[in-house]
Structure 1
Amino acid sequence: MQTMPAHAAHHDDREIETLDDFDATVSARGTLAGFRVQAVDLTDRTRELLATDTAGAIFLGCPMRDDAAAKVRADGAMVFPPVPNLPFDPYRGLLYSPDELFAGLGKGYEETLDARAYAWFQQTKADGDIFASMLRSIHDDAVSDALDELLRGTRVVGVMGGHAMARGTEAYAGAARLGRELTRSGLTVATGGGPGAMEAANLGAYAAPYNDEMLTEALQLLAKAPKFTPSITDWAAAAFEVRAHWPKGGTSVGIPTWFYGHEPPNPFASHIAKYFANATREDGLLARSNAGIVFLPGAAGTVQEIFDNATPNYYESRGEPTPMVLVDRAHWTERLPTWPLLTALARERSMESRIALVDRIEEAPAALKRLGG
């Protein structure tokens, strides 16, 4: 089973994203010249900053004392100070964790970082504030950078599906078993990071290191809060109860957005790349699913994702198109007849060998493997 570190230093990239990275670089290199230091609190590293060459360095959102800031500027470094009164850090160097986004849940979801960031987004979007839109862009670029670093060298399989799939249903349990099997096969599961089918797949990845009975018990615990309405607090609390019972879950990625901030991120993705811009989030999720994508039954959003992925596949000329597996024949041929159009597009580019339609979710892993995923 493939695992991902919470963070891996990339000194060859000259990026410093944690205090441990900072200390290791100063100790080993004796210089910070040309480095990029990203969202690291340096208020207790004044002595090191005063004694170390920082020529050409860039400090992005790093708190530091006035004398240290004056010295590094005199060296020729660029200092982008932290932005006060924000519920998020636009210069962050790492992805979010569930604990970070849901901190304060005991006082109600409205007190969490996730809810406060959404409220800020709603307010500043309505105001049309150019400074706020710039901060959102910086944040999303930082998240993309952190996501690329995390997934470097990994084989990622996307699992797409509707947010309406409720806990306690067989469909939800099937999606969870799918995420577990894909993770156990060595793939990294990536989802849209929200509720429903997305949460189920992240839950399955979380359950992968445990025996099969763990998932059965977890599904029973979650069923007491089937949906995130009417109470996100109760819905999230049930997930954290599962995490408390089984604290050493497997890794996976969730890529949600505050654009749809009324839908909370699910707490089972170990790494959460949350964006303000939905278009950046959608494109990034699909583009990073290099081992293929499984599309579970969904509505408009899932249909959009199918064709967002089919389009670059259609025009791909340098490599192999991404394998695509659609689950539930009746759904994709009768209720939302997406499969006939996808098949027609595939036929024009001789891509039939890269797409598959299966009746049951249990067939998806074998179909994905058969397509080369």
Structure 2
Amino acid sequence: MAGELPDYGKPDRLYDIGDLLQGYDPGDELAFVKSWDFGAYRRYISDGTAAPRTLEIRLAQAEHDARIAEALKTFLTRPTEPTLVGVMGGHSLSRRHSAYRAVAELGRYLTQRGYLLVTGGGPGAMEATHVGATFAYADDAAFAQALVTLGEEPSLPKGLGDILTKTGDLAPGYEEAAKGAGRWLNKGLEVRDRAPKHRGESLAIPTWFYGSEPSTPFAGAYAKYFQNSIREEALIAQSRAGIVYAQGGGGALREVFQDVELNFYATTVDDFIPMIFFDPDGFWQREAEFDVSGVTRPGIDVRNVLERIFRYGRKDTTQILQRVKFTTKFDEIAALIETRVHKAQHELAAMLNFSA
């Protein structure tokens, strides 16, 4: 299944799920590897991934990503600036996990209160956020049924990371991984199609750096980048009213400390973007446990290190640490975000006007 790979394109707006899944047939077991989205990923791999093989390739990727950045600015330009709240978390979180349900419930709650949620657009905790936003105005029974139905295909198959060779060709034995990804994606599309017409809006900022995993089908718009470094900067920079951290791994940790760097240099307390560590299991407040087989109880205790970092060189540590919260209480989360709404909208308006 070689096929002609798409070029990098010159988008003039953000993608929607129909754009990404162009060529995808839910009735085809191997549909996952036949979509435009996956074709773009193959192009990215064949051209050298994050280290493009030629200047021509580098320039084509750069133009695409610059156009997406411009489209994102256009998307955010409205009569009243939206209040963006980021939700970061692991891609491997099962749709059956209690933490997935909790993130979906929080996403629904925050969307109902007028916040525009932004994630990395992948599976796991990221998808849960968009599910909550999609069903923000559905009744409780429809939302609960959506989570049950999604649980019928709880996780992506193992082996997706090895589905392509380094040249962008389909690897031997790719079929099983592709079929599993298709089943996972089909279940999401089924639930999305059953959602009420009045759906909450949400924004995904994914990347082809992780293109072996399908983007969640629940976001309203997708600012998809080739260069992951630009995408990561966009994620943190756009989440101006606060960032919620669900349980995660290396990617979530990178985002935590990108946020730490930004907040470390906050001139005033009002400039500090709230950091909210959200997980019913207490993932961010305990150390992982291990035995000879590996991790038996996941966890990454970040409390002490964050306190030490923010105490270093600051005189307003007590006030700053009030904006670093470990909680699962929705009203506490909303109250903390509310302290930053006016400032976040002002900053976004200034950024949009400056770059107009």
TM-score by length of 2: 0.76
Q: Which amino acid letter does the alignment assign opposite residue 110 of structure 2?
A: L
Farther off after superposition, 244-253 or 188-197: 244-253
Are 2:142 and 1:214 aligned?
yes
Secondary structure of 1:175's counterpart equals: helix
Question: What residue in structure 2 maps to residue 365 of structure 1?
Answer: 333
Question: What residue in structure 2 maps to residue 23 of structure 1?
Answer: none
Residue number among 43, 49, 61 corresponding to 1:136 in the alignment: 61
Question: What residue in structure 1 maps to residue 162 of structure 2?
Answer: none
Structure 1 residue 275 displacement after superposition: 0.7
Question: What residue in structure 1 maps to residue 17 of structure 2?
Answer: 98
Could you tell me how far apart the structure 2 residues matched to 1:252 and 1:181 are? 13
**Correspondences of 1:135-174 after superposition (within 5 Å):** 135-152=60-77, 153-174=81-102
Could you tell me how far apart the structure 1 residues matched to 2:189 and 2:63 are? 30
Identity across the alignment (%): 35
Confirm or deny: 8 A CA contact 1:291 1:323 kept in the other structure: yes
Render the CA deviation track for 1:121-165: whole Å, top value 9, x for unaligned.
000116712211211111111111111221231110000011111
**Correspondences of 1:315-330 after superposition (within 5 Å):** 315-317=265-267, 320-328=271-279, 330=282
Secondary structure of 1:125's counterpart equals: coil
Residue number among 285, 301, 305 corresponding to 1:341 in the alignment: 305
Secondary structure of 2:276's counterpart equals: strand
Could you tell me how far apart the structure 1 residues matched to 2:332 and 2:235 are? 19
Could you tell me how far apart the structure 1 residues matched to 2:101 and 2:7 are? 34
Are 2:133 and 1:205 aligned?
yes
Structure 1 residue 353 displacement after superposition: 2.6
Secondary structure of 2:241's counterpart equals: coil
Render the CA deviation track for 1:246-278: whole Å, top value 9, x for unaligned.
252221001111011112211001101111111
Structure 1 residue 239 displacement after superposition: 1.1
Could you tell me how far apart the structure 2 residues matched to 1:256 and 1:224 are? 25
Structure 1 residue 105 displacement after superposition: 2.0
Q: How many residues align?
A: 288
Confirm or deny: 8 A CA contact 1:222 1:238 kept in the other structure: yes
Structure 1 residue 199 displacement after superposition: 0.2
CA change 1:354–1:267 in 2 (3 A) is same
The alignment yields a C-alpha RMSD, in angstroms, of 2.0
Q: Which amino acid letter does the alignment assign opposite residue 242 of structure 1?
A: V
Question: Could you say which structure has the greater relative contact order, defined with CA pairs below 8 angstroms and 6 or more residues apart?
Answer: 2
Structure 1 residue 103 displacement after superposition: 2.1
Higher Rg of the two aligned structures: 1
Confirm or deny: 8 A CA contact 1:202 1:269 kept in the other structure: yes
Secondary structure of 1:159's counterpart equals: strand
Residue number among 356, 366, 371 corresponding to 2:325 in the alignment: 356
TM-score by length of 1: 0.73
Unmatched 5+ stretches in structure 1: 1-84
Residue number among 228, 232, 238 corresponding to 2:156 in the alignment: 228
**Correspondences of 1:1-373 after superposition (within 5 Å):** 87=6, 90-106=9-25, 107=28, 108-125=31-48, 128-152=53-77, 153-229=81-157, 230=177, 231-246=180-195, 248=197, 249-317=199-267, 320-328=271-279, 330-335=282-287, 336-348=300-312, 349=314, 350=316, 351-358=320-327, 360=328, 362=330, 365-366=333-334, 368-369=336-337, 372=340
Secondary structure of 2:102's counterpart equals: helix
Structure 1 residue 208 displacement after superposition: 0.8
Could you tell me how far apart the structure 2 residues matched to 1:290 and 1:224 are? 35
Could you tell me how far apart the structure 1 residues matched to 2:155 and 2:277 are? 24
Confirm or deny: 8 A CA contact 1:355 1:371 kept in the other structure: no
Could you tell me how far apart the structure 2 residues matched to 1:275 and 1:88 are? 14
